[in-house]
């Protein structure tokens, strides 16, 4: 058996075998910090961005703690979207298939948009692990088809998105039916104030684990700014997409209507475009995800639903048609590319009104390059904020001169007069610079 740094954890041999098959060698930061805590039975709040290895940080120790001989639900994992729940379920199956035949661990996925009767039949034998969306899990609990009072572990994944979508009520109802001695594991990219009452209700002095986003410093992603410069935005987007010839590109918009409008305009220009947002019916979403994974589309227009937790392989380009209102979502969006060791490009078409947001992203650690597409060719541009940088440099020069004036006591005749003249000259230059 190949050596892996996961062997330092007290995992059963079948788990180490699964980890080797998944080609995991070194634990990520969140895995290093979370796995021991889950194994010890601690409740915790993990704050991390997508792509940090969070799913396996809780899946591996949970599976380690399952007793296959007890035919009852022992862990419940909730996710805000069907796609994310399905993804977690498939990752679970990749691990549990290595269980010894006499100690098989059974997991079930309960989500909307699937055959409910078939799911009911499978629940006649209680699974060890239940994974699903809160609403559907709650439905089965209310119909007494699912008993969770035996489960001592509850995972709330993407809790801030769960809050935004109004699903915390369902999570609350699930938790209320579970034992008082509940190990709750909450994972969230952000910890909004409205989430805190829920955390306080079920968690006494939980451990907080905060992992800084790796995507910001991910050297495999090139962050490109493209100025709009008064052009039609969709036409520019079309030119950018065709010129880039991506393996798979996701274009992000902030609203469902905008995503539909962009997709329609691109389709009118001859591109085959997929659309992914919350207005799709369960059947449409399932079909769209299947088509995207089968590479039926080279271009997908999406809202931030696709940026949170859903793993779409092969994304070479991410394009922000508009910057997200919550800038932390820029990190989520960019994190869709440059996965599994590959490189990727995150492009943003920007307008003058976006400059404050871009400056804040730079403070978060994003290093942008500035380019434009001119008659089908990419041109390198000076830094997008060159003018403001020049103004800062002028102000620094003025400050140094003022400091010199203050310090000048015993000096040669005419030195102060010379300094004043130079100061006035620089002030006039700065005034002209501001007006230009």
Mean pLDDT calculated for residue range 115-123: 89
pLDDT attached to residue 125: 92
More confident: 132 or 165? 132
Least confident window among 91-100, 202-211, 235-244, 276-285: 276-285
Q: Which whole-number Å values give the CA distances from 435 to 109, 390, 391, 427, 429, in the listed order?
A: 62, 13, 11, 13, 10
Rounded average pLDDT over 261-277: 94
Q: How much is the pLDDT for 115?
A: 84
Residue 28: C-alpha distances to residues 32, 35, 307 (Å): 6, 11, 20
Fold that domain 215-380 belongs to in CATH: Rossmann fold (3.40.50)
Helix (H) / strand (E) element for 249: namely strand 249-252
pLDDT digits (tens, 9 = 90+) for 143-190: 999 999 999 999 999 998 888 788 999 999 999 999 988 999 999 877
305 pLDDT above the threshold of 60: yes
- The stretch 3-25 carries a mean pLDDT of 91
| Percent above pLDDT 90 for the chain | 55
Q: What is the mean pLDDT of residues 350-376?
A: 90
Identify the band that residue 413 occupies on the pLDDT scale cut at 50, 70 and 90.
low
56 vs 313: CA distance, rounded Å: 17
pLDDT for res 259: 94
Confidence check: pLDDT of 7 > 70: yes
Most distant CA pair in the chain, distance: 99
Predicted local distance difference test score (pLDDT) of residue 21: 93
Does residue 377 carry a pLDDT above 90?
Answer: yes
Q: Is the pLDDT confidence value at 318 over 70?
A: yes
CATH number of 5-212: 3.40.50.300
Closest alpha carbon to 154 in 74, 35, 81: 74
Compute CA distances 124 → 66, 134, 285, whole Å.
19, 20, 28
Q: Which residues contact 29 (CB under 8 A, 6 or more apart)?
A: 52, 211, 214
Q: Which of 22-26, 230-234, 290-294, 325-329 has the highest mean predicted lDDT (pLDDT)? A: 230-234
Tens of pLDDT, residue by residue over 193-220, are: 888 888 888 887 888 998 875 545 467 8
Is the pLDDT confidence value at 100 over 70? yes
Q: What are phi and psi of 250, to 5 degrees?
A: -110, 125
User: Confidence band (pLDDT; 50, 70, 90) for 66?
Assistant: very high
Q: Band of the pLDDT at 433, cuts 50, 70, 90?
A: very low
Looking at per-residue pLDDT, the higher value among 342 and 154 belongs to: 154
- pLDDT band for 48, please (50, 70, 90 cuts): confident
Which pLDDT score is estimated for 11?
96
pTM: 0.65
Average pLDDT of the chain? 86
> Concatenated DSSP letters for 148-178?
-TT--EEEE-SHHHHHHTT-HHHHHHHHHTS
CA-based R_g, the chain, Å: 27
Taking a C-beta distance cutoff of 8 angstroms, is the pair 14, 99 a contact? yes
Residue 411 pLDDT level (bands cut at 50, 70, 90): low
- What does the pLDDT read at residue 414? 65
Q: Which residues are CB-neighbours of 56 under 8 A, at least 6 positions away?
A: 22, 24, 31, 91
Domain ranges of the chain: 5-212, 215-380, 386-435
- Cα–Cα distances in angstroms (integers) from residue 343 to residues 221, 308, 317, in the given order: 6, 20, 9
Per-residue pLDDT at 369 exceeds 60:
yes
Mean pLDDT check: name the lowest of 192-206, 270-284, 388-402, 414-428.
Answer: 388-402
> What pLDDT shows up at residue 397?
59
The predicted model gives 353-364 an average pLDDT of: 88
| Over residues 24-41, mean pLDDT | 94
């Amino acid at each position: 058996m190949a050596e892996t740094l996961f062997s330092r954890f007290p995992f059963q041999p079948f788990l180490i075998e699964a980890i080797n098959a998944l080609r995991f060698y070194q634990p990520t930061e969140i895995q290093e910090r979370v796995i021991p805590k889950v194994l010890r039975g601690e409740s915790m709040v993990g704050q991390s961005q997508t792509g940090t290895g969070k799913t396996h940080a809780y899946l591996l120790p949970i599976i380690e703690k399952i007793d296959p001989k007890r035919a009852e639900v022992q862990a419940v994992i909730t996710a805000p979207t069907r796609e994310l729940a399905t993804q977690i379920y498939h990752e679970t199956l990749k691990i549990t298939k290595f269980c010894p035949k006499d100690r098989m661990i059974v997991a079930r996925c309960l989500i909307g948009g699937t055959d409910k009767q078939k799911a009911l039949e499978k629940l006649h034998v209680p699974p060890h692990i239940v994974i699903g969306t809160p609403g559907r899990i709650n439905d089965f609990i209310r119909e007494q088809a699912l008993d969770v009072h035996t489960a001592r572990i509850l995972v709330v994944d993407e809790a801030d998105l769960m809050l935004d979508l109004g699903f915390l009520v369902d999570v609350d109802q699930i938790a209320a039916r579970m034992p008082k001695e509940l190990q709750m594991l909450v994972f969230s990219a952000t910890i909004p104030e409205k989430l805190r009452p829920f955390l306080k209700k079920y968690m006494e002095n939980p451990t907080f684990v905060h992992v800084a986003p790796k995507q910001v410093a991910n050297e495999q992603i090139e962050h490109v700014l493209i100025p709009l410069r008064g052009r039609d935005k969709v036409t520019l987007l079309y030119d950018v997409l065709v010129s880039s010839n991506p393996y798979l590109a996701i274009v992000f918009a902030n609203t469902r209507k905008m995503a539909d409008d962009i997709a329609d305009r691109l389709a009118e220009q001859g591109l085959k475009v997929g659309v992914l947002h919350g207005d799709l019916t369960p059947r449409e979403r399932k079909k769209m995800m299947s088509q995207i994974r089968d590479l039926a589309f080279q271009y997908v227009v999406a809202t931030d639903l696709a940026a949170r937790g859903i793993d779409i392989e092969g994304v070479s380009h991410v394009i922000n048609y508009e910057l997200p209102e919550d800038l932390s979502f820029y990190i989520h969006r960019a994190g869709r590319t440059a996965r599994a060791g590959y490189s990727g490009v995150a492009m943003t078409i920007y307008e003058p009104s976006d400059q404050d947001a871009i400056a804040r992203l730079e403070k978060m650690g994003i290093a942008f390059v500035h380019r434009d597409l001119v008659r089908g060719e990419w041109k390198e541009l000076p830094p997008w904020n060159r003018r403001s940088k020049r103004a800062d440099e002028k102000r620094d020069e003025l400050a140094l001169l003022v400091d010199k004036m203050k310090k000048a006591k015993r000096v040669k005749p005419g030195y102060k007069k010379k300094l004043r003249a130079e100061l006035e000259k620089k002030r006039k230059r700065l005034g002209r610079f501001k007006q230009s």
